[in-house]
Amino acid sequence: MRKKQQGMSMLAALCVLGVVLFFATVTVRLAPIYVDYWTLKRIIDDVASESRSSDATPAGIRKELSSRFITNRIESISLRDIKISADKKGVLIDARHEKRVPLMFNVDAVVRFDEAQFLVPHS
């Protein structure tokens, strides 16, 4: 009596491997951008909370951000791309940006960070 064969065929195993490799590639390419964004957000939150206790100016905030960008090696956005302006409510830090990353061949991923606006209120 013959046993019924069980398991995956070679074609099914290659398909599963292809899907796993695709998602691994996407993860490896996009992870550094998101890590930079989370670090950027933490840096701006820290600078904003420290500046609340003192009289915050756009120049002072830009100087503080500059030193922290160098320390934390932020590479997804440069400091000159961040708009820092004073208004009636306080100092607005606008770090909204988008980043294009090549995934494979001629396919790119565009990641937009639209929630990167921070307000440092006047004390």
For the segment 1-29, what is each residue's pLDDT rounded down to a tens digit? 677 777 888 999 999 999 999 999 999 99
Within-domain flag for 22 = no
What pTM did the predictor assign? 0.80
**DSSP E strand boundaries for 1-123:** 83-86, 90-94, 97-104, 107-113, 117-121
pLDDT of 26 reads 94
Tell me how many degrees the CA angle 78-54-73 measures, rounded to the nearest 5: 25
Within-domain flag for 41 = yes
Please, are residues 102 and 28 in contact by the beta-carbon 8 Å criterion?
no
Domain count, the chain: 1
Which residues span the domain enclosing 90? 32-121
Please, are residues 62 and 13 in contact by the beta-carbon 8 Å criterion?
no
Within-domain flag for 82 = yes
Within-domain flag for 21 = no
Residue appearing with tokens 């998101």: 34
Within-domain flag for 65 = yes
pLDDT of 1 reads 66
Within-domain flag for 71 = yes
Within-domain flag for 43 = yes
Within-domain flag for 39 = yes
